[in-house]
Structure 1
Amino acid sequence: MDTIIKMFEHLDWANLRILESLKTTGEQNSAAKRLLSHTLLAEEVWFNRIKGLDHNPHGIWTELSLTECSNLMEKNKQGFSNLLMGLSEIKAEDLIVYKNSTGKEFSTSVKDILIHVALHGQYHRGQINRYLREEGFEPVHVDKPIGHYFTVSMEKCPVGPPILILRKSQIPLTPFRFNHFLGNNVVSS
């Protein structure tokens, strides 16, 4: 479940970055806004399916205002956060029976639904970035590595050789950045 929780932390972070970007472009990019609306409405539909609540699959392509997107984003974040906090590995394997928009019945595990929701959003955020680029706007960086961010520095030690210091940061420390910092003295295992 830890990986799925991290996927939803990323989903929340990335959705917010996209929303903030669309606020700066105004109402100019309707296709991007429609995709963000769809992503958020789909999250809501899947959450409602998991909880056994009614949902309206025919409205999944409704274009919301940016204020409505923001409100739904917060609602989805709270709903999934509460769901994930109380979800055990065993409960994650429970099957959810639901009907799609054409009325066809399916049965899918909670875990598989959660993975689908996270990946569905990432797919559409990529499309949103394509639309932003086509309209002359800077795409939004939503490829955040899962894990902690660190900065690297060498500091003098009162006694002995300098030591390598890792500090939490807002910048991801990728293997490339770490190896680049250390130069050619890196030994791979």
Structure 2
Amino acid sequence: MGYEEYTIDGLIPMFLSVCVYVLIRVVFILKNKKLDWHKEISRLLLILYLGVLVVVTLFPINIIIGEYEQRYREIVINLNPMQFFGLLDTDFSIIVRNLGGNLVMMIPFAILLPVNFRSMRKFGRVVMVVLATSIVIEVLQYIWQLTMLNVWRATDINDVILNVCGGVIGYALYYYIFRHVPFMKRFII
């Protein structure tokens, strides 16, 4: 007996989520008759960022129906911060993509959190949310490996460390840009 494999790309769920959000915001704006474009842009950027974050870190999802006994590859998990999965033996572009991508990935999040939520304007809170988000992503990637929803993901403590470093950089950028550039203050909710 064989199996069938289906792939779910993340762009369709992201597109539908953004459409639902925009529809809800339009109804809310029409009902209240108030509109602040700067704040709406801030909210929309946060929603778009979260959608891209989910697509980049958790998709595609592969669903296998039928009898399937063979794994594509073993489960990959790294809890040693000094081990980089042999990245030093690979192509330089892979090193840049992995290290740079994980560092840059949380910078927008750490900027958009304090812009959109008053309670997130403290450094420690932003770092804790970035840390928790990164850990949830890595745990979901591990679950994806176990359930074979995406066997090409790897769970790595270095991703969490780089994400938190990116969050620190993002908060520093928020603090400087939104506190010291008068035009940008309009976007803070």
Larger relative contact order (CA 8 Å, sep ≥ 6) = 2
**Higher helix content, 1 or 2:** 2
Q: Give the structure with higher Rg (CA).
A: 1
Q: Same fold (TM over 0.5)?
A: no
TM range (shorter): under 0.3
Normalising by structure 2, report the TM-score: 0.28
